[in-house]
Every structure is written in structure tokens, then in C-alpha cells.
Amino acid sequence: MLNAPIARRTPEQFISLLLVLVLCVFAGCSKKEGEVAVKLPEVTTASATAVTSTTLTIGGNVTSDGGGTITERGVVSSKTAMPTVNDGRILSGKGTGSYTIELTNLYAKTTYYIRAYATNSEGTAYGNQVVVTTGNITLAQVSTVTTTPITLAGATVTGNVTADGGYQVTERGICYAKQSGPTTSNEKVISGKGTGTFIATLTDLEPNTRYFVRAFAVNAGGVAYGAEMILEPFSVPLPKITTTAVISVTHNAAVAGGDVTDDSGLPVTERGLCYA
């Protein structure tokens, strides 16, 4: 099939088409009468306060909405510089004005980069960057409260974890040694977890020996110790025994014996006669 011939256009028709295109472009790009162009908001980032090992307080101030409605505002934070909303954000309402946000569950001894932000129909604007380093992990607070005298059954020591330092106390108890300054590397008796008062019983202590004891508590920051206390030595009471009369004496032999009347609370491991 033959193609139909293309009709030629006159110069007047080309001019008319050109005017129509120009008018269409102009109409599409121009604003309606009285309409104000929306710009990005203006926002500043406040200084960080109340910085601990795991939390801090910060905020921002939306000083201009840019001619549009502020639909979202808050802060963005990251471990790398110049964070955006793609790095994670915490919202704090809408509109202009100041706002404050508490950041929680942070890592200790870590540097964070934080910026306030605000969003309108034109896009998202960011405030100045604030750099904050969180503090060290705080150890738990623990005290060695009381001790009982050493007996044959052992000794009892009371401790008290009064604060966890912001992290869970995963182990607590009493450590003891024959020298001053016992640690958890020496002998220890574990007595649960968390804060509060606890009691530990020390057993198998050697007689006539002085022991040094301290309460301890463990959290993510390490081991905290209470004040040192001393358990004074105790003497093991001797058994009570009487010697019976010697009988059947000959020129080269004799019969004698004894009577153990009291073991004083400990097993008698050996008994017999001695002579010279």
C-alpha cells in the first residue's frame, strides 16, 4: 500500500503552532496569581545535655516553615557524620518552634553525630551537626554490710547492691581470701543477681586463720567491690577424753584404755594410747 502524501503547512500555520506551544509552557510553569513559592524550612540543632553512658537529651528549633506546613520534625543520629532521615530518626511533632528529644539505648564511650530536621512540601532541611560522645559505663554500687563470727559451720556475710549503674547486675556475692584485698579471682560465693540485700555463707574455712571478705557486684562495666571486713580466727575445740585404769600388768605387757566423752562437734579422726 502506498503511503498518503504529507500535507504541506503554510508559514502562518507554523507560527500558530509555535505560539500555542509557548503559551502551554508558560501556563504550566507560572504560578497562580498571589501564590507564594514554598522554600525549605529553616531549623537549628540545640546543644546536647544530660549526657550519660547510654542516654542524652537534645532537640531543635524550626525557625521558619518556608511558606509551607511543617509535616514532620525531629532529630537524626548516626555514628557517621552528616546523618539524614535515611540513617534513623526520632520524631517530635509538627510545626515551627522548639522541641526536645531524649535519645536512649546508646552505646557507652561512643561518638554520635546528630542533626535536627524539619520537612515541608518542598523537602527536608537539616540543622547544624552536633557531635556527642557518651560516657563510660558506671559500675554498680555495693556495700559489705555485716559478718558473723566464724564457727564450725562457717560464717555468714551480708551485702547490699544499692545501684546497678544503669546496667543489669548479672552477678553478686562475697569474695574472700587469707590476704587483704580479695577479688573475684579468689574464693567467692555467688548470691543471685540484681540490686538489693543478699546473704552468703562461707564454709570450709580453716581454723586459726584470719579471712578478709568483700561484697561484689558485676555489670557491663566490670566488677564493683564493697568495703573490706575481717573474719577473726576461730579455734577448734578439742575432744574430751579420759584414760581408764591400767590393768593386767606383767613384766612385759599391760592393758589400758580411754573414753572419748565428747567430740566437741567434730569427727574424731584418731584415738588411742601413748606411752613412754
Tens of pLDDT, residue by residue over 41-55, are 999 999 999 999 889
∠ CA 8-13-19, nearest 5°, is 140
Q: Per the structure block, which three cell numbers stand in for 13? A: 500555520
Mean pLDDT of 139-151: 94
Helices (H), the chain: 11-29
Helix (H, G, I), strand (E, B) or coil at 255: strand
42-133 and 141-231: same fold? yes
Q: Does residue 135 contact residue 221 with C-beta atoms inside 8 Å?
A: no
Does 2 have pLDDT greater than 70?
no
Q: For the whole prediction, is pTM greater than 0.75?
A: no
Q: 141-231 — its CATH code?
A: 2.60.40.10
Fold classification of 42-133 (topology level): Immunoglobulin-like (2.60.40)
Q: What is the pLDDT of residues 177-210, one digit of tens each?
A: 999 999 999 999 999 999 999 999 999 999 889 9
The fraction of the chain above a pLDDT of 90, given in percent, is 63
Task: Kindly indicate the confidence band of residue 133, based on its pLDDT and cuts at 50, 70 and 90.
Answer: very high
In order of 24, 145, 176, 183, the CA distances from 179 in angstroms are 95, 20, 8, 10
Question: In this structure, what are the phi and psi dihedrals at residue 26, rounded to the nearest 5 degrees?
Answer: -65, -40
pLDDT of residue 34: 56
pLDDT digits (tens, 9 = 90+) for 229-254: 999 987 767 788 888 888 877 878 88
Predicted confidence (pLDDT) at residue 28 exceeds the cutoff of 60: no
Q: How confident is the model at residue 258 (pLDDT cuts 50, 70, 90)?
A: confident
* Cα distance between residue 194 and residue 215, in whole Å: 13
For residue 6, pLDDT over 70 is answered with no
For the chain, domain boundaries:
42-133, 141-231, 237-276
3-state secondary structure of 67: coil
Per-residue confidence band for 21, with pLDDT thresholds at 50, 70 and 90: low
* Confidence tier at 263 by pLDDT (50, 70, 90): confident
Tens of pLDDT, residue by residue over 95-122, are: 999 999 999 999 989 999 999 999 999 9
pLDDT value, residue 237: 74
